Amino acid sequence: MIENRPGLNLLAHLVLVLGVVVVALPVWVAFVASTHSATDFMSGTVPMWPGPHLVENYSKMLDSGVSTSGTPPVARMMLNSLIMALAIAVGKIAISILSAFAIVYFRFPFRGLAFWCIFITLMLPVEVRIVPTFQVVAGLGLLNSYAGLSIPLIASATATFLFRQVFLTMPDELVEAARIDGAGPMKFFRDILLPLSRTNMAALFVILFIYGWNQYLWPLLVTTDAQYYTIVAGIKRMADAVDGLPQWHLVMATAVLAMLPPVAVVIGMQKLFVKGLVETEK
C-alpha cells in the first residue's frame, strides 16, 4: 500500500516517535541515574541529564560491587551470565538440530512418540515445572554450578521445531544426490545440512542468547553462593538493600551494564539474524 498524504505521514511519524520515547526513556533515566552520586537522589527531584560520576560509579561496580548487598563484583556476575547464556544457546542449538535431524531423516520405531514427547515439552517451560526441576537439580548436586544453571533450560522443543521446519523444506533430491555421492548420514549432516542451516542457527543463537541472559527466576533459585550469581538476579539482590536505602546510582549502573551484551549480540549478528528469518536459499 503506497499512499501519499502528508497528514498520514505526520501521524505515522508521531506514532513512531512516541514508540521510541516509550522504549528509550526508561533506558535514558537509568543511564542518567548511573552517572550521579548517591546523594543526588535524596533531594527529591530526578535528574534528567548525566552527572559527573560516570567513571567512578562504573569502575566501582565492575571492580568491587556493593558489599552490603552480598553480591560479587559486576564483572564476575557478567561472566556468570555470559557462561550461562552461551551454554544455553549452544546447548539448545546442538541438541535440537540433532533431534530434528533424527526426526526428519530417520525412520525408527516410536518416531511419532518421540516427536510428541518433544512437542509436549512446549507446554512445560521452567516456570511450570520449577519445583520438580529444582528437586532433580538439587538431588544431582548441581546447585551452585554452571551445569545447574543451564542444563534445565536447555531441554525445550521450540528450537527442535524450527530446525524440523528448515529440514522439511530441503528438497528430497538433495538427500538423494548426497546418497548417490556416497555421503553417509553423518556426512550428509555435516557437509550439507549444517552449512545450509547456518543462518537459521545464527537467528536462533540471538534469540536463545537473550533468553538465557535474561533468565531471572531460575538463577535466583539455584544459586546461593555469590560466586555463581548472574547479573539479572544480582540486580534484584542489590535493590533489596538490607539496613539502608538502595544505592540507586549503583543499581542503575549495573542495569546499564547488563543491557550491553545482548545489545552487542543483536547488533553483531543482525545481518545473519534477518537472513535466517527471511531467506530461503534452497
Partner 1 sequence: MASITLNNLGKVYPGGTRAVGDVNIDIADGEFIVLVGPSGCGKSTLLRMVAGLENITDGEVRIGERVVNQVEPADRDIAMVFQNYALYPHMSVRQNLAYGLKNRRTPKAEIDRRVNEAAEILQIGQFLDRKPRALSGGQRQRVAMGRAIVREPAAFLFDEPLSNLDAKLRVAMRLEIKELQKRLRTTSLYVTHDQLEAMTLADRLVVLNGGKVEQIGTPLEVYRRPASAFVAGFIGSPAMNLIDARAVPHLPGTAHAGTIGIRPEDLTVTPDGPILMDVLAVEELGAQRLVHGQTGGEKLTITLPSDSELADTLRLGFDRASLHLFHRETGVRID
Comparing CB distances to partner 1, the nearer of 3 and 281 is 281
Taking the complex as a whole, the smallest distance from the CB of residue 105 to partner 1 amounts, in Å, to 14
Comparing CB distances to partner 1, the nearer of 163 and 248 is 163
Comparing CB distances to partner 1, the nearer of 176 and 225 is 176
Comparing CB distances to partner 1, the nearer of 201 and 252 is 201
* Sign of the Cα pseudo-torsion (19, 27, 239, 87, in order): positive
Q: Are 111 and 265 in contact (CB under 8 A)?
A: no
Comparing CB distances to partner 1, the nearer of 3 and 173 is 173
- CA 4/CA 119 separation, integer angstroms: 47
Taking the complex as a whole, the smallest distance from the CB of residue 163 to partner 1 amounts, in Å, to 16
Taking the complex as a whole, the smallest distance from the CB of residue 98 to partner 1 amounts, in Å, to 20
Taking the complex as a whole, the smallest distance from the CB of residue 116 to partner 1 amounts, in Å, to 22
Nearest Cα to 86, choosing from 212, 174, 180, 171? Answer: 212
Taking the complex as a whole, the smallest distance from the CB of residue 172 to partner 1 amounts, in Å, to 9
Q: What is the CA radius of gyration of the chain?
A: 24
Residue with cell 533424527: 102
Using alpha carbons, list the distances in angstroms from residue 111 to 8, 84, 117, 161, 237: 54, 31, 10, 15, 46
Give the footprint of partner 1 on this chain (CB under 8 A).
171, 173-174, 176-183, 187, 191-192, 195-196, 198, 281-282
> Angle of helix 54-63 relative to helix 74-105, nearest 10 degrees?
70
